[in-house]
A and B are shown apart, each in its own frame.
Chain A
Amino acid sequence: MTSRVCRTCGGSDIDVDQARGSAVCTGCGSVLEDNIIVSEVQFVEGSGGVSSTVGQFVSADGPVKAPILGSGFHISVGKESRAQTLQSGKRQIQQLGSQLQLNQHCLDTAFNFFKLVVSKHLTRGRKMEHVIAACLYLVCRTEGTPHMLLDLSDLLQVNVYILGKTFLLLARELCINAPAIDPCLYIPRFAHMLEFGMKTHEVSMTALRLVQRMKRDWMHTGRRPSGLCGAALLVAARMHKFRRSVKDVISVVKVCQTTLRKRLTEFEDTPTSQLTIDEFMKVDLEQECDPPSFTAGQHKAKMQQLEQELARKLDEVEGEISCFKDEIETELEKSRPKLRGVYAAYTKEIAPEEEEVLSSTSDPEETEETEMQATTQHLTQDFLCQVIQEEEGQGKTADEGFCDQETEPETLGTTTRPQVTPLSVILGKLPSAARLGLQESFHTFAGSETGEVPQSGELDLKDIDDQEIEKYILNEKEVEVKTELWMKQNAEYLKEQKEKEERINKEKEQGTYKEKKKKYKKREQIEASTAGEAIEKMLEKKKISSKINYDVLRDLNGVTGSPSTTTSDPPEGNATRKRLSRRRRKTSEVNPDLSVNATIMGKRFRRLISSTPKKKKTPPQVETAVTMATKPTTTEAAAAPTPDAIPDTGSTPPAAPPPAEEEEEEEELEEECVSALQLVGDYGCEEEEVF
């Protein structure tokens, strides 16, 4: 209100009273303005004593041109897309939030988050529901309300992890640090749900203490807070002599039985569980425990260690045994000097043979490789010698320790060399494997050095054993067998593919080949001369609801519409026939004047089958009590089998009303249709009166 100068006295001190809507000069008292247009909110009492506001708040950042008339709830009245999004988001937040019993402050905060999200374009590619839920959960976390993500997913029937993903993303993008969940938050809520009556508070306090104890004992990291709460509440309830079974608790807390039991056993392992109830209330133990999974891991580690030690000991024992074995052999050899000489010659033969064998299994023809072989063989031989010497050494000390017999170290020493080769024969497998391994690593190393990126995709065939690869490929006969099996197994799929191809080829020939993209057909304009006709046709096209009392509807236009419809029947019939056949592979013909009646009877599309189209007919399963003006004979013939299927024969005389047949694509809906029919059938006996 601009302060003006008073006309009479010239004073500029003007008092504007918003309530009265008047501007008065305080100097001389003259009224300068009356009935000022005010921007206050007025209240009006409506019917039933409900007071409502007059006028509306127009948002400052909305579109400039939005004059919202009337109730102002028109969402899509020429608003910008952004405003629409925000408005619809706000509505959904209100809806969800009220289901969660969040207060207005939280909802406003959630809406602010949502606005941020929209401005950062994070709603793109995500379902609005998920985004809204994530915003709400963010608020819950920041405010510390006892709502779980599970609750939200329950309400929306969406997988928790999907919501969680969205939530995490939003939190990251908006740089909101949601504080970690404290299980203590959930206790009062669950306690309330478990109905402890007067003692709810006490039980909650006990459960709280338990949870705090669990926290100290490191039971709560990495676990769902609801599981801990469940365990704590169960124990607390028992402590206060309430009988709550595991089932009750899990239905409230939403974890499964196994989890709860596990938590209980873990708690059992802590020293706190050994205290009595009174002690627990009074004393707080100082020591803390390791988390249970840590102890389990440590336990495992200990077991492993033990096993390792055992294995080592076993090895040692084996080593000793082999030493004894060697000694025995040497003794035997000593007793047979001739054989020894032959044996030595034999061993000499074996050694080169062995080398040849080993060399033949390797990949061919490169000098590098043969050199590698030689070196690796040497290496392994040396290695073996070392090992054996060690063993012998051990054996020596062991012998000296244990055996009474004096073993001659010299004999042992002399026998080491001829020993080497037989052992290498015995241990023949080891070196070859080691050698292959070494070779491979050498090869890959060499390969990597020599400009590894194969020039335009030449396949490096080094060390790919062709023989091995051959094993991966089946031979002719196996291929046949497999082909047969596969064909049998996938027969359906193959058939489908064939049919599809045939269909496509046919359509291509006909020139009506349509691309696979779904085209949403525009609603065809209904051409009708009267309102009644229009309604009829509309009813034809649309799927019918079972909640409308069609009798009334029919009566509304039945009297006026019937004479005009009869004339327009035949031409319309053709047109509709064509339309129908193209659209839904339905073969039946429409009888428009009865279509209204027809469509009355049940949920689905009802069609009367005429004699002319001879396409496939499904056996009539549902009958409606509709009379037919034209062509009663053919329908009567069809009516004969139908009586069997009629559930409500009583109300409908089968002879006069022809059956309405239906081509059902899904049988499940049939039962629904039948029941709807029954409902409607029971409703009105007026159907019999039709025509």
Chain B
Amino acid sequence: MDSSGDEALDIIITNVVATFRTRCHLNLRTIALEGTNVIYKPEDGKVLMKLRKPKITASIWSSGKIICTGATSEDEAKLGARRLARCLQKLGFKVNFSAFKVVNVLAVCSMPFAVHLIDFTKNNRPIASYEPELHPAAMYRIKTLKATVQVFSTGSLTVTGPNVQNVAAAVEHIYPLLFECQKPKPLCK
């Protein structure tokens, strides 16, 4: 399935970021004072609320825009968002759950081989960039999928994209390129 032949690569989703709107003004002070697990940040003008059940942190603005981070799957993100909206409803605001959108998905994947980053960058010149002074990984941006893959020399990847499918497609896309530039299996001491 992942064009690896023998084993399937485990793509582990570590973070899903989603936004939605409540279509009504929220009084941040009320939320801050009457909710558990909330942090009020007056200088930023937002409230951070953390849910336990799907482990989610939400930033709530008074305009009604809410960003949810920390979920481990798209469904979880949606569930968490709905829970949050329900919580706000109970606090007395006329909440309308609208415009839910998953904005970013972050996943981690590990290749069974190490990668020679310099060769990899040379082969994929404009798309890949590697600056060892700045960051130890090579960055590969896939424009069509709007996904970014960070490749480390150990063979582990960090993939970010707008949804889970894109992330999986990105891994598929990049696998053959990495396979070419893998480090030959050397003799270890």
Residues of A near any B CB (own CB < 8 A): 148-150, 160-161, 164, 167-168, 171-172, 175, 177, 180-181, 218, 221-226, 269-271, 287-291, 293-295, 297, 440-441, 444, 454, 456-461, 463-464, 466, 468-474, 479, 482-483, 486, 490, 493
Given A295-B188, A473-B91, A459-B86 contact (CB < 8 Å): yes
Residues of chain B from 120 to 177 with CB closer than 8 A to chain A in the complex: 121-122, 125-126, 129-134, 136-137, 152-156
Cβ contact within 8 Å between A271 and B189: yes
Cβ contact within 8 Å between B187 and A459: no
Cβ contact within 8 Å between A222 and B136: yes
Q: Which among B86, B96, B121, B186 is the interface contact of A469 at CB below 8 angstroms? A: B86
Cβ contact within 8 Å between A454 and B98: yes
Q: How far is the CB of B41 from chain A (nearest CB, A)?
A: 11
Q: Which among A164, A463, A471 is the interface contact of B131 at CB below 8 angstroms? A: A164
Complex Cα distance A457/B37, Å? 25
B114 proximity list for chain A (CB < 8 A): 218, 290-291, 294
Q: How far is the CB of B185 from chain A (nearest CB, A)?
A: 9
A482 proximity list for chain B (CB < 8 A): 33-34
Cβ contact within 8 Å between B90 and A469: yes
B188 proximity list for chain A (CB < 8 A): 289-290, 295
Cβ contact within 8 Å between A444 and B75: yes
A459 proximity list for chain B (CB < 8 A): 82, 85-86, 89, 95-97
Given A457-B98, A469-B86, A289-B133 contact (CB < 8 Å): no
A291 proximity list for chain B (CB < 8 A): 114, 153-154, 183
Given A180-B121, A221-B153, A294-B114, A470-B90 contact (CB < 8 Å): yes
A sample of 11 inter-chain contacts (CB < 8 A) reads A150-B133, A222-B132, A223-B132, A288-B186, A290-B183, A290-B186, A457-B96, A461-B86, A469-B87, A472-B51, A482-B33
In the complex, which residue of chain A has the Cβ closest to the Cβ of B151?
A222
Cβ contact within 8 Å between A471 and B132: no
B97 proximity list for chain A (CB < 8 A): 454, 457-460
Residue B109 at the A interface, CB < 8 A? no
Q: How far is the CB of A47 from chain B (nearest CB, A)?
A: 48
Given A160-B134, A180-B121, A297-B154 contact (CB < 8 Å): yes
In the complex, which residue of chain B has the Cβ closest to the Cβ of A443?
B79
Interface contacts beyond A291-B183, A454-B98, A464-B83: sample of 9 additional A-B pairs, CB < 8 Å, sorted by A: A160-B134, A222-B117, A222-B136, A288-B187, A297-B156, A444-B78, A459-B97, A482-B34, A486-B32
Q: How far is the CB of B186 from chain A (nearest CB, A)?
A: 4
B46 proximity list for chain A (CB < 8 A): none
A181 proximity list for chain B (CB < 8 A): 132-133
Given A444-B78, A473-B90, A149-B36 contact (CB < 8 Å): no
Complex Cα distance A408/B132, Å? 70
Q: Which among A290, A441, A456, A468 is the interface contact of B96 at CB below 8 angstroms? A: A456
Q: How far is the CB of A219 from chain B (nearest CB, A)?
A: 10
Q: How far is the CB of B79 from chain A (nearest CB, A)?
A: 7
Q: How far is the CB of B93 from chain A (nearest CB, A)?
A: 11
Cβ contact within 8 Å between B42 and A490: yes
Q: How far is the CB of A227 from chain B (nearest CB, A)?
A: 10
Residue B23 at the A interface, CB < 8 A? yes
Cβ contact within 8 Å between A222 and B86: no
Given A149-B134, A291-B114, A457-B96, A468-B89 contact (CB < 8 Å): no
Cβ contact within 8 Å between B134 and A294: no
Cβ contact within 8 Å between A293 and B132: no
